[in-house]
Amino acid sequence: ATAARQTLKIGLIPADGIGHEVIPAARVAIEALGSDIPKPEFHDLLAGFELFKRTGEALPEDTVETLKECDCALFGAVSSPSTKVTGYSSPIVALRKKLDLYANIRPVLSVAPSPDQQPDVDLIVVRENTECLYVKQEELTNGTNGKEARATRLITERASRRIGQMAFELALARPRKHLTIIHKSNVLSITDGLFRETVRAVPSLDSVGGRYNDVTIAEQLVDSAVYRLFREPQIYDVMVAPNLYGDILSDAAAALVGSLGLVPSVNAGDNFVMGEPVHGSAPDIAGKGIANPIASMRSAALMLRHLGYTKGADRIDKAVDEVVREGKTLTPDLGGTSKTQEVIDEVVKRI
Ligand code: ATP
Ligand code: MG
């Protein structure tokens, strides 16, 4: 499918805060790739909390309709109001649902001190994006001994299978081809038991025809996985987890490599992929021109990689790694004094 495209239609949704400063960085990185990808065609789209405050709408229908015509998209960041605001719900959560982006993929990579050394941390967290405790069915009742609160945790075979397949696919594309299934089935034997069994059974599905037999499989309880992530991150290659464990693991993994301003992600489904830096809208630094654009540029690379444009993705990643390794042009979050635009220029020059 990738070879057939004449143009690559990319939706750009800066949304809030530093989203407006980092999404343009991803755009110029993509533009710098020239003929390594089909001619990019960008569509600027509206969404976010700031938009909601102006218009009463956080995710206009027009944005969703245009996205459905696009091949992929880049999302900046959305501010979360600190108290509940009537009528507002997060546009990113809605987009994941509307476009069925069931996987959140977060590669966490430390940049090695020299190009021929191995990085200490080089792993991918694959987080299920649609169920688990995020079905948000909670209830509060009055029991005989006071208030009682309950939450429903949904794990389905269908969602576990498709996230499992995505994880095997990613593992297969990496040199080590190693997959660790994260769960807590010693306590939650039914829900986590289903997740674990279903993911384990993926290689034996008729539909995959033995493609995943080269992938080695390990399992780990989520608590010990966090511990080992900090003690010996090198043991991990691809980690696959239900929604909540995946959320916690990927933030913990991001802490291992320094700034939030470095870590990219994509939200992926069978028909669409949306890049999104892991950081939020960073209201404390928004508008100052000092946001780190690297997570956003890496999200663009990850999105292209997911679509099969490996060469273009490699060129962005390599340029970013060089700039980080050299350490001369860095934003304040990495201890530097450079502006967003200076980092963008430095990366684009190398692309
Ligand atoms: P939100 O509600 O949008 O998540 P937040 O206050 O949690 O906002 P984050 O964006 O999650 O802010 O950032 C947490 C901290 O990391 C902030 O101090 C922010 O300035 C910093 N930070 C996040 N992203 C970047 C970036 N790209 N460059 C520099 N600093 C960043
Ligand atoms: Mg935040």
Q: Is the CB of 338 under 6 A from ligand 1?
A: no
CA atoms of 339 and 21, how far apart (whole Å) = 11
CA 79–ligand 1 middle distance (angstroms): 10
CA atoms of 325 and 115, how far apart (whole Å) = 9
Phi, psi for 293 (deg, rounded to 5):
-85, 0
Evaluated on CA atoms 208, 213, 215, 217, the torsion sign reads positive
Q: How many CA atoms lie within 13 A of 106 on its CB side?
A: 29
Q: What is the predicted pLDDT for the residue at 210? A: 93
Q: Is the CB of 333 under 6 A from ligand 1?
A: yes
Helix (H, G, I), strand (E, B) or coil at 344: helix
Q: Is the CB of 283 under 6 A from ligand 1?
A: yes
Residue 134 annotated in active site:
yes
CA atoms of 277 and 78, how far apart (whole Å) = 11
Residues in the chain where the model's pLDDT stays below 50 = 1
CA atoms of 164 and 113, how far apart (whole Å) = 33
Which residue in the list 62, 214, 223, 270 is annotated as catalytic?
223
Which-ligand-closest: CA of 281?
1
Q: What is the predicted pLDDT for the residue at 1? A: 46
CA atoms of 193 and 201, how far apart (whole Å) = 12
Q: Is the CB of 40 under 6 A from ligand 1?
A: no
CA 271–ligand 2 middle distance (angstroms): 28
Which residue in the list 184, 309, 333, 339 is annotated as catalytic?
184
Nearest CA to ligand 1 atom 5: 282
CA 8–ligand 2 middle distance (angstroms): 31
For residues 300 and 312, the answer to whether their CB atoms sit within 8 Å is no
Residue 317 annotated in active site:
no
Nearest CA to ligand 1 atom 4: 280
Distances (CA, A) of 261 to 186, 280, 351: 36, 9, 20
CA 172–ligand 1 middle distance (angstroms): 33
Mutate to test the pocket of ligand 1, among 279, 288, 290, 324 (most ligand atoms within 8 A of CB): 279
CA 298–ligand 2 middle distance (angstroms): 19
Q: Of all atoms in ligand 1, which is nearest to the CA of residue 282?
A: 10
ipTM: 0.95
For 274-292, how does the pLDDT look when each residue is reduced to its tens digit (9 = 90+)?
Answer: 999 999 999 999 999 999 9
* DSSP 8-state code for residue 289: T
Q: What is the predicted pLDDT for the residue at 3? A: 53
Residue 184 annotated in active site:
yes
CA 227–ligand 2 middle distance (angstroms): 23
Q: What is the predicted pLDDT for the residue at 114? A: 75
Q: Is the CB of 280 under 6 A from ligand 1?
A: yes
Question: Residue-wise over 223-252: b if at least 16 C-beta within 10 A, else e?
Answer: eebbeebeeebeebbbbbbbbbbbbbbbee
Which residue in the list 88, 134, 177, 345 is annotated as catalytic?
134
Q: What is the predicted pLDDT for the residue at 81? A: 84
